[in-house]
Amino acid sequence: MTVAVILVSSLLYFGSGVGQSAAGLPAELGRRADGSLVSSPKAELLHGFSLAMRLERMLLYPLLLLAFQLSGGAAALRRVLAGQAQPWLARSLPGPVRLVGAVAQRIPHGWRQRLPGSDLMVILLFVLAFHLGLYLLYLPFNFYRSFVVGHQFGLSTLSAGGWLMDWLKSVAIGLVTNGLLWTGFFALMRLAPRRWPIPAGALSLVFSLIFVLVTPVLITPLFYHVSQLDDPNLQQRILALTARVGLEVDEIHVIDASSKTTTVNAYFTGFGGAQRIVLYDNLLNGYTPDQVEVVLAHELGHWYYKHHLLSVLGLGAVAWLGMFALRWLLNKTWRWLKLTGPADVAVLPFILAVAALVGMLTMPVENGISRLAENQADEFALEISQKPQAFIELFEQFAEQNLSVVDVPDWEKFIFYTHPPVAERIARANRFSRSAQNQ
Ligand SMILES: [Zn+2]
């Protein structure tokens, strides 16, 4: 039932004809008598649409996982794969299969008893098959949400082939990272049945730090052409900004986002010697130097306060504690789930469902912290650039170009928003400019 709803929901959205009406709607912001902004009708429509799809995904995803787990589907998949694993290993197939066999042979004898090569093989195959199934099931939904809706609203510049190519790349990346992570996770559970949360938490933290470091170098170039910012005027402005706060910033990259989207964005990533600011080329093409300077000043704020490193470490610490809670939960539930033990790989859908439900409950806290960091970066941007007017015009243009609504109800901001809504950011700039005038 859940599978059917996920599969046909995009047809239902399309059949409603709502998205098709987007092309005729104006995208310009309105203004009230008191000067405050009103979202464009097109942005309002997109917002309602995206919220519906977001809620659908949030509710159905854990349901789907639990249904697969409780119906015995997960255990059946593990049994089928276990029947295949032994002969595959014996025949020593090429690639990953042989690699796992070779790794298993190097495991010390005591450990090999706890985790025979064929078991390791079953774990890897299960993780890959299960995730591949999820990607395929969500393919129509994601294609609709990102490609069809993206074109209806004029936000996507990708061809269907280009979209599919990007999807294939993300599936490949997802399979490699999930394969590595979960195989390692279940291997640790087998090797250290009582103490596994300690090494598993440490390894997941190291893994996320490495992932943050390699993403700009290995993953971003798979999707975009990346180049260094090459604009003497902007570089001069950056030098002036950084000199004011004593930062040394030499890594400002530009990606050709216009090959995929009409939206604008910029972000900061990395830590230590690998920090960088990434700008969409759309930003450099359609905005004034003052506005780009404000964006850079905002990203420098994230750099200055080390927001990225703090968030990885914070999430890592929470995940580490979560491992202990998970151990308790698995020890309590594996019999009820009709599994062979707490380290049975067939418990993976259950773990993901619990993680999704916990994520849902903690999302307001996580997003609240993120909005605090964004407010801090906005304040920093206003302070060091001293350009509140450019700041205001920047966010008005952002809202129009990205089809974002100007403001949302408090409950929605509280649950979903990682950034303050545009109206709030503009209000901050107005306050800043009033207090500057009073001084
Ligand atoms: Zn930011």
Q: Determine how many CB atoms are found less than 10 A away from the CB of residue 54.
A: 13
What pLDDT is attached to residue 36? 86
**% of the chain residues with pLDDT over 70:** 94
Number of alpha carbons in the 13 Å side-chain half-sphere of residue 334: 15
User: How many A from CA of 165 to the centre of ligand 1?
Assistant: 29
pLDDT of residue 378: 97
- For position 245, what pLDDT does the model report? 83
Predicted pLDDT at 24: 85
Lowest mean pLDDT among 134-143, 240-249, 325-334: 240-249
Q: How confident is the model at residue 116 (pLDDT cuts 50, 70, 90)?
A: confident
CA of 140 from ligand 1 middle (Å) equals 31
- 3-state SS, residue 420: coil
pLDDT band at 91 (very low <50, low <70, confident <90, very high): low
**What is the pLDDT, as a whole number, of residue 177?**
94
As a whole number of angstroms, the distance between CA 124 and CA 90 comes to: 16
Q: For 252-301, write each residue's pLDDT tens digit.
A: 899 999 999 999 998 888 887 778 889 999 999 889 999 999 999 999 99
Residue 89 predicted with pLDDT over 80: no
How far does residue 213's CA lie from ligand 1's centre (Å)? 19
Ligand 1 centroid to residue 418 C-alpha, Å: 9
How many C-beta atoms lie closer than 10 Å to residue 21's C-beta?
13
Distance 265 CA to ligand 1 centre (A): 10
Mean pLDDT of the chain: 90
Cα-to-centroid distance, 67 and ligand 1 (Å): 38
Which of 48-52, 99-103, 196-200 is least confident?
Answer: 99-103
Can you give the pTM of this predicted structure? Answer: 0.89
pLDDT of the residue at 97: 62
pLDDT digits (tens, 9 = 90+) for 343-365: 999 999 999 999 999 999 999 99
**Ligand 1 center to 306 CA (angstroms):** 12
Instruction: Specify the 3-state DSSP secondary structure of 170.
Output: helix
CA–CA dist 326, 332 (Å, integer): 10
Q: Rounded to the nearest whole angstrom, what is the distance from the C-alpha of residue 300 to the centroid of ligand 1?
A: 9
The DSSP H or E segment spanning 62 is helix 41-70
Residue 389 CA to ligand 1 centre (angstroms): 18
Mean pLDDT, range 176-197, rounded to an integer: 93
Position 235 scores a pLDDT of 85
98 C-alpha to center of ligand 1: Å?
Answer: 45
Place of tokens 């968030």: 311
Distance 374 CA to ligand 1 centre (A): 5
pLDDT at site 240: 86
Ligand 1 centroid vs 232 CA: distance in angstroms?
24
- Model pLDDT, residue 248: 79
Ligand 1 centroid–CA 264 distance in Å is 13
d(CA 356, CA 386): 42
What is the number of residues in the chain? Answer: 439
